[in-house]
Amino acid sequence: MNCESASERAAEAKRNGIVIYTPYASFDKCPTLQSCAAFLVQRGYKVAVFSHSDAKTTAPVGTTLVDLGSLRLGNPHASTFLRLAYMYWRILNSVRLGARFRAIIAVDAAGLVHTWLLRRIIGARLVYCSLELLLHADLTGFKLRLLKFLETAISRRAVGTIVQDKGRGGLLARENGIPLCNMIYIPNAPLGRPRRRRSEYWHRRFGLSSDKKIVLHAGNIDAWTGILEVISSTPLWPEPWVLVVHCHHERAEDSDEIRRLRACGDPRRVFFSLKPVDRGELETLFDGADVGAAIYDAMPDTVYASTNISCIGLSSGKMAYYLRAGVPIITNKNNSVASLIEETGCGLAVKCIAEDFGAALSVIDDHLAGFSKRACEAFSSHFDPDAGLKCLLAKIGETDQSAGNHKGAGFRS
């Protein structure tokens, strides 16, 4: 029996391959996935990421990044089939060459469905990573309801489910009938200690005088981000504050969307950065801000911009980057992070963005050093992903105490 157990442990130790699959979201835009990959590589695992990527997409050293976005056919369904076929072929060929996989981390409902068969073929554990909440109350149409049915059934078979905080975890657990003990709480945050290291990144980029102070609105610019209200508030801002809008997906300078946004603000105070940057440049980009705008305005009767936004919690990637850089935050009252911001003193929550944003800037400006210090403290107490990442190790069959450096075969191309 002891010999058998020893051989089983030896065989299990050779399973050092990890697959991270995200069918729609870009790996570069998801701090949770970046942190998982980097942490697992540090533990000696061979991580293969299958994601949409572009020339600027980078992955942690030791990670194999496979771009699925460049595989396209005439229609979306055919393209999805092609990408899945390619991913299955790459992984199964790797197994043929000797690789052994311990786990698949499948992102969101579609990722869970796409990898269910693959998980059974290669005998890997399945970990569900929920970035976007798919809830019954927000569903419309047969396809989404079918997707939810499949997500519910398969997520119950996963060894663990990654969510960003207990609020979102509780919602998903109730919806899908998942035990709370299966939840792995990993905030959507980068690795690394918080610090304030102000840069002149935006001053150099736009030729601004050194006395200007920067409000950064980073990430998405869809309606639920309150971008229109933030820009509209700029004529009421005190000197010397200006707004920089940085998009994480490329936008055309002459697009109707950008023209409309430019027209509603003070042109002397609003600057647009319409192209994404390398992941290595993100830290300096956020260091260049003095205040971060993080508005979450839920839109009823939408799938991913209703409850998913009102309960944004610790899934806000830009909040994590702001706080890690020691940048205070201004948010709106009617979302799940407003109380966290007010309780930790790392920023302010306003009732009316258009009318109150400028006044909030004045308050923060008068006590900027204190707000910045509390921003760093808020990251350490709420957004640090380290504890959740150690829980992930346990869920895939390795406790932090017993983890060692794996020498078996990982992903092979």
pLDDT in tens, 268-310: 999 999 998 887 788 999 999 999 999 998 877 777 778 888 8
pLDDT at site 118: 96
Domain boundaries, the chain: 10-186+385-395, 201-383
pLDDT at site 398: 58
What average pLDDT does this structure show over 157-184?
A: 95
Q: H or E element: which one contains 107? A: strand 101-107
Are 45 and 403 spatial neighbours (Cβ–Cβ below 8 Å)? no
What average pLDDT does this structure show over 96-103?
A: 93
pLDDT at site 55: 55
What is the model's pTM?
A: 0.89
Asked if the domains at 10-186+385-395 and 201-383 fall in one CATH topology, the answer is: yes
pLDDT over 50 (residue 140): yes
Are 224 and 296 spatial neighbours (Cβ–Cβ below 8 Å)? yes
Query: What does the alpha-carbon distance between residue 297 and residue 295 come to, in Å, rounded to a whole number?
Result: 6
Mean pLDDT score of the chain? 89
pLDDT in tens, 397-410: 754 433 334 444 45
Angle between helix 31-42 and helix 386-395 axes, rounded to 10 deg: 60
- Report residue 41's pLDDT band, with 50, 70 and 90 as the boundaries: very high
Token pair recorded at residue 196: 């304030």
pLDDT over 80 (residue 9): no
Mapped onto helix, strand or coil, the DSSP state of residue 32 is: helix
Sheet architecture: strand order including 329-332 = 270-273, 241-247, 213-219, 291-293, 329-332, 347-350
Q: Determine the CATH number of domain 201-383.
A: 3.40.50.2000
Fold of 10-186+385-395: Rossmann fold (3.40.50)
pLDDT at site 392: 96
